[in-house]
Structure 1
């Protein structure tokens, strides 16, 4: 039968040890000083060490003790004894480590000490010290604690089983319960460790897919009325008055301005107009072209806050600028905000848009409908008010109609307004649209179109 006794350290025969990583011996010695030796070492009847090498070193080299409590074990094979001690034991799970750490933090020292002054100044063990005693880092404790507090039981179990890392489990604990359940399901179905390690990427894909689905549903459920899209025949300088636009009432201005010299004199007016109608944090997205881009940027900078520049590229026929001997197949667009940006309201967006076809049936400068829809989805939500001060082919208005955004747009050329009205009517679910405050039916559209031709 095994027995426990204090034996002289100098009498212990250490021999060869298989465990090489000894860890923090000084920390172990401090723990022994504060809390005592919780488990004695193991030796054979002839004082050969079986287990407890780290405890022995703490007693001998740090605490400078001559004796150490030991349990005497009658075993012949020392290697097997060390293996059994260090292999078949069960390590504490992360949630159990949290419980122990929290218990240590609630523990106050003092005991039977008689000093009244000592008892009045007793403090609990700090979180840092509790983690040192247990033997893990603060960040690991914080992660595991979050999981224990916020995660569903199935996720806590996966953390304890080490199928999900502490960091990943803590990130997942911040997600809604349905996302956590989906993550657990994916981890349990994983066949490789790599699949389990990639659970955060998988969850991000799930979230993005759900966000897209919710956005599509909101777009489908958005009101589809004649009042949601309004086209006006006027210059953008008069749009505020004609359309009754209130200052700071617009979520987004999305437009494609003329790129040539003829519009340069109006750039300052456009920048001022956008600054007046945009709500705080509203976004201005504008195709600007490369020609005299510096002048356009300077004008916008006076009224708005620059955020980024994107590019629209296409395949096929390119534009030639003979004076510079350059062939261009891309158009830059700028992204500004009024005041501080509100990126939490933006979807993740790509700054390089690819076009595989030209769409010019409504205007010679027409942008692809899918491209405008992409920008609207990136920077607006269903029901937002969008303004396009340079309607042209009214692609922005058509995209707003498709996606459930409200839109006010204008053009100084009445023929463009007529064509835009035809376009919206042909693509709308209802047969009536509103132009310049007047509800127009199919007969009126046909008559006006013939008159303009």
Structure 2
């Protein structure tokens, strides 16, 4: 949080170009303390048993899209209001089929900021039969607990062709795409929460970028896979050093 504070104070006295250079420099800095990892197998409705109030900088997550899971966005709105720091924000990837309902549910406790276009080019893009649409992008919604206090950002993310990683979970996303999200918003040393950890993509990207990570999933297999995936990534990093 020190880096963020310095950045916010310095913005008052720097040109836009100087602000951009400072931001890039801060994102390259290593945190004073090594990042931590916490994984919980639990229902997100029990979030107060796990999480402390105002303890997380960003919630970055990709909940399930089917209609039967719409209820999770009610809980996600409450959870975000509870766990985010005063200037924290939620970044959530969603499907398009129930987008109005999702936005209404998240808006109960949060302030809508913007929608990013997450482009997924290639033959793996899904075909939505009920609307006869072959979709090549996903909405990534940004909601803030209060006023958005992050840096300026572009609202398009494009992954490599057919980079739709399903090795660790049937609904998994690529590290490449989530790394771009982190590059836009996140600083080393911050704390990231993913309440739908799935195959662990957010966990891996968080730790690689020097961020502490908290992951929750109701499926015990997801927690085990994420733990093993993180261990494998750490071994690879150790071998490179």
> Which bin holds the TM-score, normalised by the shorter protein?
0.7 to 0.9
- Render the CA deviation track for 1:396-428: whole Å, top value 9, x for unaligned: 111111011111111111111111111100112
Aligned equivalent of 1:305 = 111
8 Å CA contact 1:282, 1:337 repeated in 2: yes
Aligned equivalent of 2:90 = 284
Of Structure 1 and Structure 2, the greater helix share is in: 1
8 Å CA contact 2:29, 2:188 repeated in 1: no
Query: In structure 1, the residue corresponding to 2:70 is in which secondary structure?
Result: helix
- CA 266–217 in structure 1, closer or farther in 2 if over 3 Å, else same: closer
Aligned equivalent of 1:351 = 155
Aligned equivalent of 1:240 = 48
Aligned equivalent of 1:208 = 20
Alignment of 1:323-402 (within 5 A): 323-343=130-150, 346=151, 348-356=152-160, 357-402=163-208
Question: Which stretch shows the higher mean deviation, 379-388 or 417-426?
Answer: 379-388
- Render the CA deviation track for 1:316-338: whole Å, top value 9, x for unaligned: 12211111111111110100100
Query: In structure 2, the residue corresponding to 1:428 is in which secondary structure?
Result: helix
- Render the CA deviation track for 1:343-379: whole Å, top value 9, x for unaligned: 3xx2x32211101122121112111212222222322
- The Cα shift of 1:390 comes to 0.5
- Render the CA deviation track for 1:46-66: whole Å, top value 9, x for unaligned: xxxxxxxxxxxxxxxxxxxxx
Note the residue ranges of structure 1 that are not aligned, 5 or more in a row: 1-173, 176-199, 432-453
- Tell me how large the CA RMSD over aligned residues is: 2.1
8 Å CA contact 2:91, 2:142 repeated in 1: yes
8 Å CA contact 1:222, 1:404 repeated in 2: no
Aligned equivalent of 2:215 = 409
- Render the CA deviation track for 1:411-447: whole Å, top value 9, x for unaligned: 111111111111100112599xxxxxxxxxxxxxxxx
- The Cα shift of 1:213 comes to 3.6
Q: Which structure is larger by alpha-carbon Rg, 1 or 2? A: 1
8 Å CA contact 2:74, 2:106 repeated in 1: yes
Alignment of 1:154-193 (within 5 A): 175=14
Query: In structure 1, the residue corresponding to 2:58 is in which secondary structure?
Result: strand
State how many pairs are aligned.
222
- CA 261–384 in structure 1, closer or farther in 2 if over 3 Å, else same: same
- CA 361–223 in structure 1, closer or farther in 2 if over 3 Å, else same: farther
- The Cα shift of 1:210 comes to 5.2
Higher-RCO chain (CA-CA 8 Å, sequence separation at least 6): 2
Question: Which stretch shows the higher mean deviation, 418-427 or 363-372?
Answer: 363-372
- Render the CA deviation track for 1:99-153: whole Å, top value 9, x for unaligned: xxxxxxxxxxxxxxxxxxxxxxxxxxxxxxxxxxxxxxxxxxxxxxxxxxxxxxx
Alignment of 1:4-23 (within 5 A): none
CA distance in 2, matches of 1:310, 1:290: 13
Of the candidates 99, 102, 105, which is equivalent to residue 296 of structure 1?
102
- CA 239–428 in structure 1, closer or farther in 2 if over 3 Å, else same: farther
Q: Please, what TM-score do these two structures have when normalized by structure 2? A: 0.84
Q: Please, what TM-score do these two structures have when normalized by structure 1? A: 0.46
